[in-house]
A and B are shown apart, each in its own frame.
Chain A
Amino acid sequence: MRLRNPFVMESGVFTTNYRDDMAFHFPVLAKIRVAVILLLLFLLPFFASTYFVSIANLAGIAVIGALGLNILTGFTGQISIGQGAFLGVGAYTAGFITAKLGLPFWLALPAAGFVTALVGAVFGVPSLRLKGLYLAIATLAAQVIIEFVIVHWETVTNGVHGMFLPAPGIFGYALDSDVSYYYLVLTACIIMTVFCFNLFRSRVGRAFIAIRDRDLAAEVMGIDLFRYKIYAFALSSFYVGIAGALWGHYLRIISPEHFTIGVSIQYLAMVIIGGLGSVMGSIYGAVFITLLPIVLRELSGLLANYLPNIEAVILGLKEAVFGITIIVFLIYEPEGLAKIWQNIKDYFKLWPFSY
């Protein structure tokens, strides 16, 4: 019988094999694929129309917001329907700093992240006691309270009149076109996606998932549930705050109706359709939900040639399509687009012997 003491570590033996083992283990083909996608993303403005770039900007901002919501809801299991309001906190914080204080955007952007993180942490406190539906209602309260504050704190937010924001500049370079803004959004997206990937293969990310899967066992492992739930709320809100700041400065005008519960539900749709607890899923879901109304509009425009009244019908159906899509995903593929994509890849791995 071979006996090994699991607690004795041989000193002086430094193997690198675990590190290699733990690096992102991309086969060459996958590496090439990532490189090609990144290259295409960087070159996109050169071959796409301005209209398309503007859609890409919205999608990219949604990706950051969806990553934030997924950190909290998908990975840590804490549902939130205050996303819309938290976007507002980010947008108004950044707007206040640039428009009212006249300070530079590169300062406003992280500040929006941190302020939203703080607000998110405060509204995360009930999560120690509340779960599921009850927590959902507590975060709904956050949504209502923050919306109220945005409308009524007029010295800071201009209330219902909204606020005009200057075009952001970075190091004297004004990001006032769709294309220049695209590179800002793309950079932020890449950094925040990589950060997310790393987080969930290291200590804190694992603790988040543990809390989602089995909070009792997590506690017995020495994870302080309260502290880590607050961390999740804060980090999630940091992402959402950044997304809000980017959104506000892209729209250049923000008002309370941009940050309603409807927006919260849209983001929930993104993470549900994309895949709860999946980084790539956040991206797929954000792109999907951003494109959905646009595709519908294009479709109705196309059909209008043949059926003159179809446009009104389809646009009226927009909300319904939205709801139906969520329900279909919940029933048929609760793991979302990320899972569907995985299935497709698995299928072609075995191809042509896939049966």
Chain B
Amino acid sequence: MQLDLDRVSLHFGGVTALSEVSIQVKKGEIFAIIGPNGAGKTSLLNCISGLYRPSSGRIVFEGKDITHMSTHQRPLLGIARSFQNIELFSHMTVLENLMLGRHIKMKSGIVSGGLYWGKAQREEVMHREVVEDIIDFLEIENIRRKKVGTLAYGLQKRVELGRALALEPSLLLLDEPMAGMNSEEKEDMARFILDIAEEKGTTIILIEHDMGVVMDISDRVAVLDFGRKIAEGSPEEIQCNPKVIEAYLGEQVS
């Protein structure tokens, strides 16, 4: 197992966002997390990427207990993510956003950066090449110099995926990467996700509301409801699981 969540719980005052959730994710799989609004999906991702600390339980990544590891150290282990509400650096260009994804792969400090001579310059050029490859891969060549804040929503989502890819992660956490997209954009995004998993062997944990997409691209699915995992299995198994149907019907009624 690459990622092992062992009875993770998370409380906010009286609110229980997660309650003894255990999930195991294998290297290279596309693992989807679904569930009604407020089920705790984002909270789970936040625990893995370190923005939230579980109230109890353990998170083990590649054999290492990361439950209490600080947020900024996790990318060094190979964990990268995108956000449900886009968190790009909106005053910067697409290129600069992606270059920030290379931060941990680069070394130059204040002095060499300020002098911009020799090593620092070579380093910029080298990492710029990696970033340009990602830009080609995501087919966003024509917007590379645009300020991110000026881009359409769907493109911003794509740039945010690019920034996460720039970290060369072994585990990629995507929080609703297709939310608010039209069907064509969704198709592109699904294709990118499949390509990333296939070519690089990157493990992908994906939160998504569009059931069609989830069923199409994921290897396994876990269902959260009121902070509890109520089901887990292959897409086919999930589709006909009575508990899942009930959870979603319950949402429709209320």
Chain A residues engaging chain B, CB cutoff 8 angstroms: 1, 3-9, 15, 18-19, 21-22, 195-196, 198-199, 201-207, 209-210, 213-214, 216-225, 231, 235, 277
Contacts and interface: CB of A to CB of B under 8 A. Distances in A.
Given A6-B137, A217-B83, 17 more contacts: A1-B191, A4-B136, A5-B199, A22-B124, A22-B125, A202-B114, A206-B100, A210-B100, A214-B87, A219-B51, A220-B50, A220-B80, A221-B103, A221-B104, A222-B104, A223-B72, A223-B103
A225 B91 contact: no
B105 to A, nearest CB: 9
Contact of A5 (B80, B116, B128, B200): B200
B90 interface: yes
Contacts of B249: none
Interface string B70-85: 1111111000110100
A218 B163 CA distance: 11
Contact of A18 (B74, B108, B129, B167): B129
A216 B116 contact: no
B110 A204 contact: yes
B217 to A, nearest CB: 16
Contacts of B132: 18
Q: Is the interface of B mostly helix, strand, loop or mixed?
A: helix
B207 to A, nearest CB: 16
List the 8 closest A-B pairs by CB distance, nearest first.
A202-B113, A222-B75, A222-B104, A198-B116, A217-B87, A195-B114, A213-B89, A6-B137
Contact of A235 (B72, B110, B125, B199): B110
Interface of B: 49-51, 70-76, 80-81, 83, 87-92, 96, 99-101, 103-104, 106-110, 112-116, 120-121, 123-125, 128-130, 132-134, 136-137, 163, 165, 167-168, 191, 195, 199-200
Contacts of B128: 18, 21-22
Given A210-B100, A217-B87, A224-B72, A6 B113 contact: no
Nearest to A215: B87
Contacts of A222: 72-76, 103-104, 167
A204 B87 contact: no
A18 B49 CA distance: 33
Contact of B110 (A5, A199, A216, A217): A199
A7 B168 contact: yes
Given A4-B137, A220-B81, A207 B100 contact: yes
Given A203-B103, A204-B109, A219-B71, A198 B199 contact: no
Q: Is the interface of A mostly helix, strand, loop or mixed?
A: helix
Contact of A203 (B72, B106, B167): B106
Contacts of B112: 202
Contacts of A195: 114-115
Nearest to A235: B110
- In this complex, the member of B81, B110, B165 whose beta carbon has the largest number of chain A beta carbons within 10 angstroms is B110
A202 B100 contact: no
A221 B75 contact: yes
B120 A220 contact: no
A245 to B, nearest CB: 19
A224 B72 CA distance: 6
Contacts of B104: 221-222
Contacts of B75: 220-222
Contacts of B133: 4-9
A202 B118 CA distance: 13
A22 B191 CA distance: 31
- In this complex, the member of A18, A210, A218, A220 whose beta carbon has the largest number of chain B beta carbons within 10 angstroms is A220
B114 A209 contact: no
A225 B103 CA distance: 13
A195 B120 CA distance: 13
A9 B75 CA distance: 21
A139 B108 CA distance: 29
Contacts of B125: 18-19, 22
B178 to A, nearest CB: 19
Contacts of A196: 114
- In this complex, the member of A3, A219, A223, A224 whose beta carbon has the largest number of chain B beta carbons within 10 angstroms is A219
Contact of B51 (A9, A202, A203, A220): A220
Contacts of B129: 9, 15, 18
